[in-house]
Chains A and B, each alone.
Chain A
Amino acid sequence: MSPTVLVVGELHEGHALPSTVETIGVARTLAGTPAEVVVLLVGSHARSAAPELGNAGVSRVLVDEDARLDTAPVAAIAVVAAAAAQSLEVDLVLVGGTAFGRDLTGRLAARWNATAASGATEIQRDGSAFRVRRPVFGGRATETVRLSGPRSVVSLRPHAFQPPPASPTNPAVEPAPKVEIPAGLLAPRRTGIEPVASGLGPSLTDASIVVSGGRGLRAPENFHLVEELATALGAAVGASRAVTDAGWRPTSLQVGQTGRAVSPQLYIAVGISGAIQHLVGMVSSRVIVAINSDGSAPIFKVADYGIVGDLFQIVPALTQEVRRARGT
């Protein structure tokens, strides 16, 4: 079977990101047989990272070990990806919808003369065309886009898909097609990276999980309860306007009409009563959990799951349970 789907993997510190593994899972469901899925890895860690993709059922990995790609802009990587897509004659390139993945999607689509969509939460094949469902308007609506093909590039919304079931294989590792990268695309350089400070977590608007705290926490020194739960979940921290107005936390964390609008997969509101100005900023979240001592609080009207109780007992117990369940 000739390959039909190329996945462009993303490595961080020599390992594939979870979004890359999720993307491989989707590629497998679209391809029919594992042999139709090929993964491209670039940079000095490409070869050493390839075997671990075998756990996700990948049987063929193309590697371009050009170390310049470690610090090169996405434009240079798109040159390599386009050459690989061209030589494999696939009709779909899939990437995880990270900052890198979204950039690559646009760049590669333009270079490979393809149609594109980003942040897909569903994708279906329709001959050589694809149908993609994706949230729009901050999650307040959903659209279905038809990419007419014959070549498509799609990035997948991180966390929207389960990682594939483990089916260990020993992937064949081959060099990617050799291609000249224009000097102009290698002139820009990444000079460093400041890792996300621990406890700060992912950015509020891009996070798949957000844990927000409100006035119910009573004092700034109690806000760590929210932050610890967020850390245990790998979530971003948010706050209600009461909290940011009181100066407990910076306004950059404020969720609501005058702050950020978020639409994560999971939103946990801790000690937030649910003023309308807060609700408009988070109501489009996929699943909402409210923890509040007042069972008549409006937040429970928009929540999917509610716990009425003392947050000073519930939240630490929840943090503990999350750590246990995640094995951390």
Chain B
Amino acid sequence: MEIVVCVKPVPEAETRLRVRPDGKGLDPEGVKFVLAGYDESALEQALLLKEAVAGSRVHAIACGPAPRSEEVLRASIALGADQATWVEAAAETADDPIAVARTLAGAIRAVPHDLVLSGKQAGDHEEGLVGAALGEFLGVPDFGAVLDLRFDPGSARLRFRRATESGQELWESPLPCVVALQQAWNDPRTAKLPAILKSRKAPIARVPPIAPEGAQAVTERFELPAPRSGAKMIEFQTPEEAAQKLVRLLREEAKVFP
């Protein structure tokens, strides 16, 4: 099975967020970029399938700016990807999920792909649109919020679950298709030092970016919330009074009562 995994660099989870001077994005100064958490699950899933299905190969692809995109591709190789492709794109393009999907589709069409995996969303913009748009551009079905993915060699079909608001859906699908993984239901492996060292010299194929076409989504403003000023303490004589006051505040003042 030829497995393509789309990986994205995102700021480390502990990053202290700061706004760029122009107010239009995150200030990348001093920020460490790492493989997005859900993408890490997707890569782990790819490696598990490779181990289960003889003759499989894992190909990591990233679309984004230097040097962070190249870094997550090297990290993917260190974890076990056989091959890596980098489509260089400006950070602004990398923020437009439909443009990213169009660009990735261009690169994926040029290589063998039975299964395309990604995380369901990245921990920065959290759009969760690339997988679905990629499916459309490639002309194959896509599935979001997937967990517990298996390949049944007998029927040559994937079997998996999807986490939805109504419950867990059970699905089966032939290949090729795009699957966006919900969460780390698997326990992603960590890279071993020799593999990390080796990955530094591994070849990474570079594909020229395709020019953006059609409409664009552009971030105009990026804001951090104002710090909180401390709790409004509820005074009460009886537990019932406390409960009534809280429900009233949640309903009328905070407007979050269901």
A residues whose Cβ falls under 8 Å from a Cβ of B? 12, 17, 19, 73-76, 78, 98-100, 102-107, 109-111, 113-119, 131, 135-138, 140-152, 158-159, 162, 182, 184-185, 187-196, 202-203, 205-206, 208-209, 233-234, 261, 265-266, 284, 286-290, 295, 300-310, 313-314, 316-318, 320-322, 325-326
Contact = CB atoms under 8 A, between A and B. Distances in A.
B165 A17 contact: yes
Given A106-B128, A106-B129, A189-B172, 13 more contacts: A75-B141, A106-B130, A109-B129, A115-B215, A131-B220, A137-B11, A140-B17, A209-B256, A300-B231, A305-B254, A307-B236, A314-B239, A325-B247
A146 B135 contact: no
Contacts of A114: 98, 215
Contact of A284 (B101, B217, B225, B238): B225
A107 B135 contact: yes
25 contacts: A74-B143, A106-B133, A113-B215, A118-B129, A136-B124, A137-B124, A140-B225, A141-B225, A142-B224, A144-B220, A144-B223, A145-B217, A145-B218, A146-B217, A195-B166, A195-B167, A196-B167, A202-B165, A208-B258, A266-B257, A304-B231, A307-B246, A317-B242, A318-B247, A320-B243
Given A110-B136, A301-B230, A99 B142 contact: no
A236 B93 CA distance: 36
Interface string B113-132: 00000000001111111111
B233 A118 contact: no
A188 B256 contact: no
- State the majority secondary structure of interface residues on A: mixed
A310 B243 CA distance: 12
B216 interface: yes
Contact of A74 (B142, B172, B173): B142
Given A106-B98, A302-B228, A321-B247, A314 B242 contact: yes
Given A300-B231, A314-B242, A188 B214 contact: no
Contact of B233 (A136, A184, A308, A321): A308
Contact of A118 (B17, B128, B177): B128
B109 to A, nearest CB: 14
Given A151-B215, A193-B169, A317-B239, A144 B141 contact: no
A73 B250 contact: no
A110 B168 CA distance: 26
Contacts of B96: 115
Contacts of B234: 305-307
A144 B219 contact: yes
Contacts of A284: 225
Contacts of B125: 136, 143
Contact of A143 (B214, B221, B238): B221
Given A145-B218, A306-B231, A118 B127 contact: yes
A193 B243 contact: no
Interface of B: 11, 13, 17, 25-26, 96-98, 101-102, 123-137, 139-145, 162-174, 177, 183, 214-225, 228, 230-234, 236, 238-240, 242-244, 246-247, 249-251, 254-258
Nearest to B131: A106
Contact of A305 (B17, B130, B140, B231): B231
A78 B129 CA distance: 14
A12 B167 CA distance: 11
Interface of B: prevailing SS: mixed
B164 A99 contact: yes
A307 B242 contact: yes
B101 A110 contact: yes
A288 B137 CA distance: 42
Nearest to A235: B258
Contacts of B166: 12, 193, 195-196
Contacts of B258: 159, 208-209, 233-234, 326
B246 to A, nearest CB: 6
B231 A318 contact: no
Contacts of A159: 258
Contacts of A162: 255
* 5 A-B pairs closest in CB distance: A106-B132, A188-B173, A106-B129, A306-B231, A110-B136
Nearest to A308: B233
A92 to B, nearest CB: 12
B220 to A, nearest CB: 5
B167 A193 contact: yes
A116 B247 contact: no
A117 B101 CA distance: 13
A103 B132 contact: yes
A45 B243 CA distance: 40
Nearest to B171: A190
A126 B81 CA distance: 45
B41 to A, nearest CB: 13
B215 A102 contact: no
